[in-house]
Amino acid sequence: MAPKESLATAPVTVMIIGVAVTTIPAAMLMRRVGRRVGSIISTFVAMAGAELGAYAIAADNFWLFVAVMLPVGSNQAFIQQ
């Protein structure tokens, strides 16, 4: 699916960036609204990202798939709290 073999790890890289960028905001949100509500919000964001990711794979759109990995990575930041 990647246009070049050297770009094959781009989705994983963007997911890790999503974790790094969202870690502190996730902690702050969970402190404010609680872990349960924060986890629910994060789950809905991840569900939307997964749905869009499935579309990206079906449409064979590599760059959309890479972009979708950002909200999936942000979900990982919430999970790790």
State the alpha helices, DSSP H only, in 1-81: 10-33, 35-58, 62-79
Task: With a cut of 80, say whether residue 2 has pLDDT above it.
Answer: no
**Measured distance CA(43)–CA(1) in Å, rounded:** 27
Task: Specify the residue for token string 């902690």.
Answer: 27
**pLDDT bracket for residue 5 (50, 70, 90):** confident
Q: What is the pLDDT of residues 53-80, one digit of tens each?
A: 999 999 999 999 999 999 999 999 999 8
The percentage of the chain sitting over the pLDDT mark of 90, rounded to a whole number, equals: 88
**pLDDT bracket for residue 41 (50, 70, 90):** very high
